[in-house]
Amino acid sequence: MPNARWAILAIVAGASILADCGGSGSTTPSKSIAKASPSNDNQTGTVAQQLALPIRVVVTQGGMPMVGETVSWVPVVAGTVTPSGVTDASGIATALWGLGTAAGTQTLRASVTGAGSVLFSATADADVAANLAKTAAASGDAQSGFTTAQLPLPLRVIVTDQFGNPVNGIDVDWQVTAGDASAIPASETSGAGGLAAVGIAHTVVTLGSTAGSITIQASTTPALTGSPINFAATSNVPPPAPSAIDINMGSFFFTSQQNATSNPAVDTLKAAGTATWHAVDAGHGVQSTGSPGFSSQTTTLPVGNIYAVQFNTPGTYTYDCIIHGIVMSGRIVVVP
């Protein structure tokens, strides 16, 4: 019996020792990956080129650096990575990040099995200018218009690098090489014009008094691939001006019945012709602005009523609403 009692006591003591040492209830601190200090996150570089500084992460366990951990580096969309292999004595791993070919924000993911991942960002700028081309949409090529008038759309070209990314800051020259027209501006820097579009340069063409075919050329110096580029236009003799025009007047618009232009409604009228405004909504009236002028209304027109004026002297006459002013406007060009 004494031997049995000692055996039981030994088992209990052993269990107590195991409990004191942690036993099955102990936990191992989890691994973690984070950006090192410095991490060299948020760099700016050039597409298809390696960033200047290596990307750095640190791998730890329970706050202590982990040595020999393999870090996986994966560009989220495109790019290349030259990793250092495994973490060093400080738990640090580095990689050289080569950007992809698309300008803009690029992302790199660094991960360790069992520790999660972290994301790095970089801004990729376009490469040097390489190509000149008409814009894919609304280039303004092959338009036609009437003599002395402006073409409806500007002519547009885009400057890109070897990968198709738009490039700003390149001078594009515009020249009329055939026919009667003018192009303004004669030179514009890509991305700097009023179009607010990266890499685009544009010009506005006004046709001359002689009808016929017109060629406008866009070029760069030194010449990029694609330069020079020719745009075609046709200048036509306008039809005779009408002796009567009609304009709708409503909330809040003047609209030409001849060509649907609105705010401003723009019409051409032969001298001694008559312009008639039709009230399609109440509460509006016609008043002359600028010089030369014409007789204005003093009261608004009821729905269905008209106001008519005969224009005997050539010139450009402008008008707006006696109640709403320039919110509603129009222009009549009277020709001989």
pLDDT on residue 247: 98
Has this prediction a pTM greater than 0.75? no
pLDDT on residue 192: 85
Rounded CA gap, 36 and 84, in Å?
14
Query: Tokens representing 315?
Result: 């010139």
CATH of the domain at 92: 2.60.40.10
Same domain, 147 and 215: yes
Q: What's the longest Cα–Cα distance across the chain?
A: 138
pLDDT on residue 18: 37
Domain that holds residue 54: 31-125
Q: Which of 236, 254, 287 is the last residue of a domain?
A: 236
Instruction: Chunk the chain into consecutive blocks of 10 residues (it has 336) and report each block's average pLDDT, rounded to whole numbers.
Output: 40 38 60 97 98 98 95 95 91 97 97 96 98 96 94 96 97 98 97 79 96 98 97 95 97 96 96 98 97 96 97 97 97 95
Rounded CA gap, 2 and 36, in Å?
63
pLDDT on residue 194: 61
Same domain, 39 and 67: yes
Query: Tokens representing 244?
Result: 């009567």
| Amino acid (1-letter code) at residue 69 | E
pLDDT on residue 26: 52
Same domain, 87 and 105: yes
The answer to whether residue 299 is domain-embedded is: yes
Same domain, 73 and 148: no
Same domain, 121 and 135: no
Bridge partner residues of 286 (DSSP): 321
